Amino acid sequence: MSNENSGVKNDYPTDRRITGRSDGQKTTADAAEDSSPERSTDSRPPSGKKIALPDGGRVSLSKADTHQLRRELTKFQTRILEILAEDSRYGLAIKSELEDYYGVDVNHGRLYPNLDELCDLELVEKSELDKRTNNYAITETARAFLEDDLGWQDERINGGDSR
């Protein structure tokens, strides 16, 4: 995401995507390293190798990656991830959940560009249900981000005692 049009100088790198890893290594890869002209929607790291995930397939993010996502994602995008954390959904079902949350209509012109950006960041996977309908699912990287963020919120709100 870029703040070019907002008049706010953004010193954060915007050409990076998070590719959660469980082995403790740095989990951010430059998008420029992805030499493929087409973006893959699978959750593999740029090397193309699948990562063996311990703890039932859980991905862990470095603090730096969690901080980067907190800077780059809007609250609207985070709400989309939270909705998809419950279950995968098609676009209009996501729209309906967001309208329930915000109490106002959500325009397609706001929803789908945000879904596309989350797919580009490899936080959401898009698949085709039929010729006109796409299904969206959260990636393990996005789930790890939400869990980290929830832990941070829990510590502030409850002193971390609710677990």
In this predicted model, what pLDDT tens digit does every residue of 91-115 receive, in sequence order? Answer: 999 999 999 999 999 999 999 999 9
Two tokens, residue 44: 């593999």
Q: What is the pLDDT of residues 74-85, one digit of tens each?
A: 999 999 999 999
Q: What is the 3-state secondary structure (H, E, C) of the chain?
A: CCCHHHCCCCCCCCCEEECCECCCCCCEEEHHHCCCCCCCCCCCCCCCCCCCCHHHHCCECCHHHHHHHHHHCCHHHHHHHHHHHHCCEEHHHHHHHHHHHHCCCCCHHHHHHHHHHHHHCCCEEEEECCCCCEEEEECHHHHHHHHHHHHHHHHHHHCCCCC
Which residues sit opposite 89 in a β-bridge?
136
pLDDT digits 0-9 by tens, 116-134:
999 999 999 999 989 899 9
Domains of the chain and CATH, by start: 4-158 (1.10.10.10)
Cβ neighbours around 70 below 10 Å, total:
13
**pLDDT recorded at residue 159:** 85
- Residue 99: the pLDDT is 98
pLDDT class of 58 with cuts at 50, 70, 90: low
Q: What global pTM score does this model have?
A: 0.64
pLDDT at residue 60 in the model: 79
Write the burial class of residue 48 (CB in 10 Å: 0-12 exposed, 13-18 middle, 19+ buried): exposed
